[in-house]
Amino acid sequence: MKALSLIAAGALAAGTLTAQTSLTTAVDFTVTDIHGVEHTLFEYLDAGKHVCLDFLFTTCGPCQANQPYFTEAYHLFGCNEGDVIFLSLETTVGDAETEAYEQNYGGDNPPPIASCTDGNACEAAAPYGIGAFPTFILIAPDRTILEQDMWPLSAGAQTFVNYLTSHGIDQMACVVDVTEAAAERTEVVAYPNPAQSAVQLQLPAGRDQARVEVADLTGRLVFAESTAGTNLVLDVADWTDGVYAVTVHRGAQTQRTQLVVAH
pLDDT in tens, 106-150: 888 899 999 999 999 999 999 999 999 999 999 999 999 999 999
- Whole-angstrom CA distances from 195 to 100, 151, 175, 254, 257 are 17, 19, 30, 23, 14
Confidence of residue 187 (pLDDT cuts 50, 70, 90): confident
Residue 144 and residue 161: Cα distance in Å, rounded?
Answer: 19
> What are phi and psi for residue 128, nearest 5 degrees?
-85, -15
Q: What is the mean predicted confidence (pLDDT) over 202-219? A: 89
Amino acid at site 141? P
Domain positions in the chain are 6-166, 185-261
Higher-confidence position of 169 and 5: 169
pLDDT of residue 17 exceeding 50: no
Query: Would you say domain 6-166 falls under CATH 3.40.30.10?
Result: yes
Q: What is the mean predicted confidence (pLDDT) over 183-190? A: 71
Higher-confidence position of 17 and 220: 220
pLDDT of residue 8: 44
pLDDT of residue 4 exceeding 90: no
pLDDT of residue 194 exceeding 90: no
* Coil, strand or helix at 142: coil
pLDDT digits (tens, 9 = 90+) for 19-48: 589 999 999 999 999 988 899 999 999 999
pLDDT of residue 7 exceeding 50: no
Radius of gyration of the chain measured on its C-alpha atoms: 19
Confidence of residue 180 (pLDDT cuts 50, 70, 90): low
Confidence of residue 246 (pLDDT cuts 50, 70, 90): very high
Query: What mean pLDDT value characterizes the chain?
Result: 87
**Across 60-134, where does the E strand assignment appear?**
84-90, 113-114
> What are phi and psi for residue 32, nearest 5 degrees?
-120, 120
pLDDT of residue 13: 33
Work out the widest C-alpha separation in the chain, in whole angstroms: 57
pLDDT of residue 185: 60
Query: Would you say domain 185-261 falls under CATH 2.60.40.3080?
Result: yes
Closest alpha carbon to 66 in 233, 182, 196, 191: 191
Confidence of residue 193 (pLDDT cuts 50, 70, 90): confident
Beta bridge partners of 232: 201
pLDDT digits (tens, 9 = 90+) for 50-78: 999 999 999 999 999 999 999 999 999 99
Amino acid at site 20? Q
Measure CA of the first residue to CA of the last residue in the chain; give whole Å: 13
